Structure 1
Amino acid sequence: MTINADPPRDDVKSTALADPPVEVPAPAVKRPARWALLRRLHFYAGVFVAPFLFIAALTGLAYTLAPQLNDVVYGHELYVDRVGDTTVPLADQVAAARKAHPDGTLSTVSVLDDPEATTQIAFSVPELSADEKVHTVYVDPYTGEVRGQLTTWYNATPLQTWLDGFHRTLNLGDTGRMYSELAASWLWVISLGGLVLWIGRKRAYRGERAARRRALMPDLTAKGVRRTRGWHASIGVWIVVGLLFLSATGLTWSQYAGARFGAALDAVQGHAPALNTALGESDAAPAGGHHGGGAPTGERETDLPAGRTLEEVLAAAGPMDGRRDITIPADAGTAYSVAQDKPNWPVSFDQVAVDPVSGEVTERVAYAEWPFLAKLTKIGIRAHMGELFGVVNQVLLAALALGLLCVIVWGYRMWWQRRPTRADRKAPLGSAPPRGGWRTLPRWFLVVGIPVTLFVAWAMPLLGVTLGAFLVFDLLVGAFRWALRTPAPNLTER
């Protein structure tokens, strides 16, 4: 039996004896001058601002649990024991709340579309007005039983108010607001800077299939700082859109940048229209009434004005789902205000003014008629608070917070891993990227970049102040190192 086979050739090595493939490093890529400047800015911002971002992410993560914590801590106040077939008239519920809370002025009666929810009846008291808080009494709508009372802030329970204040101000008042504004001001800069650096590094591996496949995933085969940088960059890219959203929405109600944003909305008439509740003299309700309720308030003898019942006021306002807040008229010349609060998608925040005597609608402000910027701002804020898509919104925010925490930890770990470890060059931490990148920037970049930077610094004052501080610090470091390298002149020689 003959086997046809090619004879062995000396010029061809056996596959079994071939050398293993060697990973060829990416070719050196000439970076534009702005690359070095961006790396140095990203480094400084990451080192000095990251602690503020870490606290904001940690407190924001805690706030995402607020709805569930509310149900656990305040379940007795917020919910009824048993859903009944009929409800007690709202006037009787107000009377029960007044009996339990004889002080203060009745301000709001809130009815929720959840059949298990209690009716929330708020009383304003002078000692809480400075903090915009009220005493809220919770009444079982089926039995008229008072379930309890809490000090609330814009319908938020004490625990939710504390978590919100901890996230926004660390519960330190206006001074603490600067921490969250500083974090929000730099978050978009760090996020966009990191994205640009990631894109630039990805281009360095153009044409390599494995590198392209790892573009959005960390390289698990890498070691040391390369592996840490892979996790830092990949997770950062996955969450960059969410971080930009949190930065933008967080700045809208900040102390200084928020004031600039509010002024811009005023200039373009981008605020939500206000509801006019003033009545003409012929429409004014007389003092006193037949609904009863307790202590005298305002110019009336009872908590509720004479005329239509609260149920009739709700019916006149029209169909509304979600929470309905009925603001009680402060005097005879003011109408009822019924404000819808439905933050879940599709959102709706209609407002209606109802004459307490005739029951006619005197004005209606529909959410559909709000300016686009007002709608965008409202939706953005509610999404930032985790209310737009319910539990899904909470999960997304929690994932963003956890991702940001991890990215920050990996960033500091890279700083640690890049420290010199040689015996003659040991250092406790890694050095910053090289200085002097701005000297090689093209003139057009400076002509465009400087005015843009000045405008951003004006729009976001805390960003501008800290950016100036970084520049001064960098100049001082450079001057100090230059002085160490320059030998002192010998003044004894002439």
Structure 2
Amino acid sequence: MSTEAPPAAEQRSGPAGTWAALRPLVLRLHFYAGLLIAPFLLVAATTGLLYVFTPQLEQLVYDRELHVPASPRTASVDDQLAAAQAAHPGASLMSIRPAPTPTDTTQVIFHAPDLPESFQRTVFVDPHTTEVRGILETYGSSQALPLRAWIDNLHRGLHLGDVGRLYSELAASWLWVVVLGGLLLWFRRRRTSRKRLVVPEPGATGRKRLLSWHGAIGTCIALGLVFLSATGLTWSNYAGANVTELREALAWETPTVSTDVVPPEHQGHHGHHGHSAHTGGDVGPERVLRAAEAQGVTGPVELTPPTSGGAYVVQQVQRHWPTQQDSVAVDAASGQVTATLRFADWPVMAKLARWGVDAHMGLLFGLVNQLVLAALVVALLTTIVLGYRMWWRRRPAGAFGAPVARGAWRQVPLRVLLPLGAVTLVVAFFLPLMGVSLLAFLVLDTALGRRRSARS
């Protein structure tokens, strides 16, 4: 994706000269955004590359906590919970993830108010002997163990809290803009063969060779980069909040199974909604799990105890394809299933959001997903380095960058300029950090232009 003006002979004319007027704007935006946002992209890409293979690293580093010898005997979930509570007395139970296979441990998860947000303490229990294999701090809904949690927070915010998260949001906000601007510049260049869009020009030397590789690699990974940008924004502070509000307004949010329990005296009657009543007693996690299995909710699951007199929730947590996210609610007093929610019944946009996040994390398609992400990140790093190399070779001595025609926006027809301005305002509102940084780019561009005019 080009960061420089091609020779006039290589330019393609746009309808009614519109492209000729727009090109300097696109080039200038691509140049400044690419040059100034690239350091943030370098950090995000490097830390993301570290994260890609952390699931395999977890299996090696935390082998004792995660794995046990297989045995024909399995203790009840109730007994496993009792062993975990004895090892971590006084803690409030958050959820239980029973061992999905005979060689896995059961994870009993406790609230940890003394830890940062989204962290909890997990007791790992041998499902056969109820031996406690270890207690670790875990993070998020994916139950990231300390190594993966550390790298995750490095990627997300450089371990600097909310201030650090600004860097990743800035990178995600601008990545798609740099990509689309670069594609527009690259596809408008005149070339003898369309193959040169994705295959570097053989025999090219110097700056032309750098540009050929930069544009071809950028074109090949463009779709993947836009995907990473869009899914990455869902985790951000400001743009992420806007995404959440939009999903709520359009009823695209992830549904949850109802945990309301109707009291016996109201069963069979209509017009009673929202009742939550615990009728006494608790059948325990073991019977709850058996009730869920009878409804087909099997495999890796998470069992969440009732709160405020509601029901237990048993939710499938398999994040790889085919996605299993069915859930049921089970009455604690009777052990009866009171509600069922199938992943097949989720709204389409909620499904796409689930798949998008899992693919971004390298979970959806397992090792293939991880290898594709790794290749995508390496290609992005290569493209950034090539872009910087082109800028350095073309940069005039003592100047920030190669001169690009200024003020060309005045030649853009109003029928193009007004919609473009309106779209920019909407995007800047939806992506606040992009709007603020765009304003900073304009100030910098104006200052450099005045400095150049003063010198000349």
Q: TM-score, normalised by structure 1?
A: 0.83
Letter in 1 for 2:419: V
Superposed CA deviations along residues 427-463 of structure 1, whole A, max 9, x for unmatched, are 4664142222212211211121111110010010011
Which residue number corresponds to residue 408 of structure 1? 384
1:213 positional shift: 3.4
CA contact (8 A) 1:415 1:429 kept: no
Matches within 5 A, 1:273-312: 273-282=255-264, 284-286=278-280, 306-312=281-287
Q: What's the CA shift for 1:39?
A: 0.8
2:246 match: 264
Other structure's SS at 2:335 match: coil
Once residues 362 and 252 of structure 1 are traced to their aligned partners in structure 2, the CA distance between those partners, rounded to angstroms, is 32
Residues 483 and 429 from structure 1, CA distance in 2 versus in 1: closer, same or farther, beyond 3 angstroms?
Answer: closer
Could you report, residue by residue, the CA deviation over 1:306-354 in whole angstroms, capped at 9, with x for unpaired residues? 44242321221222344211112245x2211111111111112122110
* 1:451 to 2:422 alignment: yes
Q: Do structure 1's residue 248 and structure 2's residue 230 form an aligned pair?
A: yes
Q: Does the CA contact (< 8 Å) of 1:103 and 1:125 recur in 2?
A: no
* CA displacement, residues 55-100 of structure 1 (integer Å, 9 cap, x when unaligned): 00001000101101101111110111x1111211111111111221
Q: 1:454, 1:27 → 2: CA distance?
A: 33
Given that 1:324 and 1:341 are in contact with CA atoms closer than 8 Å, whether structure 2 keeps it comes out as yes
* Match for residue 76 of structure 1 among 49, 53, 64: 64
Q: Which moved more, 1:141-150 or 1:107-116?
A: 107-116
Do 1:109 and 1:122's aligned partners in 2 also have CA atoms closer than 8 Å?
yes
Conserved 8 A contact 2:77-2:98:
no
1:47-196 map, 5 Å:
47-80=35-68, 82-128=69-115, 131-154=117-140, 155-196=143-184
Equivalenced residues, count: 428
Distance in 2 separating the partners of 1:49 and 1:134: 34
Amino acid at match of 1:335: A
Tell which structure's C-alpha radius of gyration is larger. Answer: 1
CA distance in 1, matches of 2:353, 2:26: 30
Which residue of 462, 473, 477 corresponds with 2:433? 462
- The residue type paired with residue 273 of structure 1 is P
One-letter code aligned to 1:181? E
Identity of aligned residues (%): 47
1 CA distance for matches of 2:439 and 2:31? Answer: 15
Query: What letter corresponds to residue 146 of structure 2 in structure 1?
Result: P
1:240-261 CA distances to partner (integer Å, 9 max, x unpaired)?
A: 0000000000112211111111
Residues 187 and 197, structure 2, Cα contact 8 Å, conserved in 1: no
User: Any conservation in 2 of the 1:417–1:430 contact (CA below 8 Å)?
Assistant: no
Counterpart of 1:127 in 2: which secondary structure?
coil
Give the residue type in structure 1 aligned to 2:74.
T
Which of 360, 370, 375 aligns to 2:346? It is 370
- In structure 1, distance between residues paired with 2:344 and 2:45: 33
* CA drift at 1:215: 2.7
Deviation at 1:279, TM superposition (A): 2.6
Residue matched to 1:314: 289
Cα distance in 2 for residues equivalent to 1:451 and 1:182: 21
In structure 2, the residue matched to 1:43 is: 31
1:216-266 deviations in whole A, cap 9, x for unaligned? 111231111111111111111110000000000011221111111111111
Q: Is the 8 A contact 2:165 2:237 kept in 1?
A: yes
Map of 1:8 onto structure 2: none
SS of structure 1 residue aligned to 2:120: strand
> Which secondary structure does the structure 2 equivalent of 1:214 belong to?
helix
* Cα 1:279/1:476, change in 2 over 3 Å: same
1:220–1:103 Cα change, 3 Å: farther
Query: Which residue of structure 2 aligns with residue 325 of structure 1?
Result: 302
Separation in structure 2 between the aligned mates of residue 241 and residue 284 of structure 1, nearest angstrom: 51
For the residues of structure 1 that align with 2:102 and 2:203, how far apart are their CA atoms?
Answer: 56
CA contact (8 A) 2:362 2:370 kept: yes
State the superposition RMSD in angstroms. 1.8
The change in CA–CA distance for 1:29 and 1:280 in structure 2 (over 3 A counts) is closer
1:375-434 Cα offsets, whole Å, 9 max, x none, are 1111111111111001111111111111111110000000111134xxxxx446641422
Shift, 1:26, TM fit: 5.5
CA distance in structure 2 between the partners assigned to 1:437 and 1:90 by the alignment: 70
Amino acid aligned to 1:275: V
SS in 2 for 1:342: coil
Gaps of 5+ in 2: 1-7, 14-18, 265-276
- C-alpha separation between the residues in 2 aligned to 1:315 and 1:88? 14
Deviation at 1:285, TM superposition (A): 4.2
* Matches of 1:376 and 1:392, distance apart in 2: 19
1:28 is displaced (CA, Å) by 5.7
Q: Residue 418 of structure 1 contacts residue 429 of structure 1 at CA under 8 Å; is this kept in 2?
A: no
What SS is found at the alignment partner of 1:109?
A: strand
- 1:223 counterpart residue number: 205
Name the SS for the 2:417 alignment partner: helix
